[in-house]
Amino acid sequence: MRSLFIFLFCIPFFTSGQTNFAVQDSYESNFQLVQREIASAYNPKTTTFTGNKYFYKDSKEAILVLFDSDEPIKVKTNYNLLDQTFDIEGEDKTLKLLPNKILKVTFDDRVFVSKNGKFYESIEENNDFSLLADTFLEAYIPEYQPGIQEKPDPRYRRNNSVFLYYNKRFTYIERRKNFLISMFDKSKSKEINSFYKKNKISPRDDQELKELFIAFFDFLSL
C-alpha cells in the first residue's frame, strides 16, 4: 500500500532559510484537502505499454504553487505522460492535479507550469516569454511482415515538443536550424548563424535553445 505525504508549509522559508511546516492532523484529512481544493479522482488510462509511463521512475516530492493561495503545498507526485497530468496516489484512488488551480509544480531538478489548462515543463520563464517543453508518449506500430505476421499491438515511446509562449500565444518550434533562424528578424540572420556556430547550438538541446532565445529575443519576428 502506497502512502501519501502532504504538508502545508509557509512562505517564510524564502527569507529565513528555514522551512516551517504546518502538518495536517491525519492522512485522511490531507488527502481530502487536496482532493477538495486542487485535484480530482480519476481512473488512469491502461495500455499494453511496457516500461514507465511516468516522467520520473518513482514519485518525487514537489512544491505546488497555487493561483489563488500564498501557501505552497508539498506533495509526492509524478507526471503521467499518457494522461498528461500529475498523479497523486492514495490508498484506494488516484488523484490528478487540476492545472487551472496550480501555477507551477517545482521538483528538485525541474519546474512544470500551467498554461491554458495544461502542464508543461519550463525551460525558461521570464517577463518577456516562456520556453516550454511538452513530453508525452506517442503510439507506434512495431515493424512486422504483413501476410506473414499478425499486426502487433501499438507500443509507446517518449517524445518531446517545444513551444514558445509569447503574447499569450503558443508557437511550435521545429528543431531545425533554418526554422529557428526564420523566427527572428532577417537582418539578424548572419549574426544568429554566427552565434549558432560559435556556441554549437543543437536544436535537440533544450538548454541551448534557451540560450538562443534569451540572446535574440528582442529580434523575434512573430
Domain boundary among 169, 187, 208: 169
Nearest one of 74, 71, 46 to 59, comparing CA atoms = 74
Strand ranges inside 67-140, DSSP E: 73-80, 85-89, 94-97, 102-106, 111-115, 118-125, 130-140
Pair (214, 118) in one structural domain: no
| pTM confidence score | 0.80
Cα of first residue to Cα of last residue in the chain, in angstroms, is 51
So what's the pLDDT on residue 193?
94
pLDDT of residue 89: 83
Per-block mean pLDDT, blocks of 10 residues, the chain (222 long): 41 35 41 80 75 89 89 88 90 89 95 96 96 92 90 85 95 96 95 94 94 96 85
Domain membership of residue 73 (yes or no) is: yes
How confident is the model at residue 17, as a pLDDT?
Answer: 35
Shared domain check, 195 and 110: no
**How many domains is the chain partitioned into structurally?**
2
Domain that holds residue 72: 7-169
Quick one: which of 144, 51, 68 has its CA closest to 102? 68
Q: For residue 206, what pLDDT is reported?
A: 94
